[in-house]
Structure 1
Amino acid sequence: MFYWATFGLAGVWICGALISGPLHLGSAWTRSGRSNARPVVQALALATLLVVVFCAGAVAISRIPALREPVDSLLNHARYGSLLVVFLIVVVNGIGEELYFRGALFAALGRRYAVILSTIIYTLTTIGAGVPLLVLAAAVLGLLTGLQRRVTGGILGPIVLHIGWSGSMLFLLPAILDALR
């Protein structure tokens, strides 16, 4: 049920974003001063930084059962299910969330409060999962992807950042938590 529900939710985000209007990929500045480069390197660097911070946090949560158990429950989909399918879900859902929250919703909110409001709304959507640390992760990821959207003017940077972080967490977090048992 987890697989179908998550793919279904990604479909809702993607359809909502696509019918909202045009979505722009955005651009980044290069060292040579060009501004028409795609924001891939910057997003990957931010994803790497975020992965390091969250892996360090995993050491702390591994010692607190009330925080570790909901995370373990969520990660069990990857541990005991099909890792390939879960990875595909992570990629499709990451793309869908960014198309919607940093694409359509961000554009609809207006320039002044788009980063903070899209972050709050994105964070609130994760509460239903029942994993407190997922809510915290959504707040941090939402803020960084929102800032990435503002800086680059498009959705490519947030998508790369989101997939880089969530894909890394999928593979690293279970190993870290298992090693610290």
Structure 2
Amino acid sequence: MTTVRPVREVREFIRAALVQPVARDHTESDAAFHRRRLVALVTLLVGALVLGFALRIRPGDPLFYAATLGLAGVWGAGALASGPLHLGRAHTRAGGEDARPVVQSLTLGALLLLLFLAGAAVVAHVPVLRDPVQHLLDHARLGSLAVVAVLTAVNGVAEELYFRGALYSAVGRRHAVAVTTVVYALTTAGAGIPLLVLAAALLGLVTALQRRVTGGILGPVITHLTWSLGMLFLLPPVLSTGR
């Protein structure tokens, strides 16, 4: 009979998902690398401006839908224009490296979601932290939840294509995790919501580590979507407990 050791299982999962890189050979010429950097920089500047504009639109204003869709277009188009992107590979339980990072990413996304919801249960009783987040969530409450959910998913994919795809590759192998995490968090600072910046930093760190391990964007995309859609539907009722 096989003995299950929870601590060891968790340690091995973290090592496989966030620590030990999978072998790959994603190389490009110096010219292609410099071109990617230029495209990534221009995309970042335009995307940051559009994001700042979108986050300041009043809840219920239909302009929010157009702005967020346009933002997804900026991130996605910039990522695809920067050069080739890869899906990535993950470690298997048997020790191989030939699997797509699907189960790992769903698990990481769910764990992040649980962590944030636990934190939200505390924030719900601190009005100065809770109210700005609820104002942001009013876009779903006062508008169409279905449309906001679709836009959340589309933007999640586009953000990962850019930040953990194009920008990560443009930074180079050294410091890519730190740089992309900081930049991703700073792009949300214009909203003036400290907890949004914190959320972006934590999500950005986890997905950047996934990118380093898997060598691709599939894992980060799945983790991001699991977390963001879960937060969209589950965060409002948790925050409402503090009222």
Q: TM-score, normalised by structure 1?
A: 0.97
2:6 match: none
**Are 2:200 and 1:138 aligned?**
yes
Cα shift readout 1:73-109 (whole Å, capped 9, x = no counterpart): 0111111211111001110100011000000000010
Q: C-alpha displacement at 1:44, in angstroms?
A: 0.8
Of 162, 170, 177, the residue aligned with 1:108 is 170
Note the residue ranges of structure 1 that are not aligned, 5 or more in a row: none
**Are 2:188 and 1:126 aligned?**
yes
Letter in 2 for 1:87: A
Which of the pair has the greater relative contact order for Cα pairs under 8 Å at 6+ separation?
1
4+ residue segments displaced more than 2 Å: none
After superposition, residues 9-28 of structure 1 pair within 5 angstroms as 9-28=71-90
Letter in 2 for 1:44: L
RMSD over aligned CA atoms reads 0.9
Of 153, 157, 169, the residue aligned with 1:95 is 157
Note the residue ranges of structure 2 that are not aligned, 5 or more in a row: 1-62
Q: C-alpha displacement at 1:170, in angstroms?
A: 0.2
Q: C-alpha displacement at 1:64, in angstroms?
A: 1.0
Q: TM-score, normalised by structure 2?
A: 0.73
**What percentage of aligned pairs have identical amino acids?**
63
**Are 2:68 and 1:6 aligned?**
yes
Q: Distance in 2 between matches of 1:100 and 1:129?
A: 20
After superposition, residues 38-117 of structure 1 pair within 5 angstroms as 38-117=100-179
How many residue pairs get aligned? The number is 181
Q: C-alpha displacement at 1:33, in angstroms?
A: 2.6
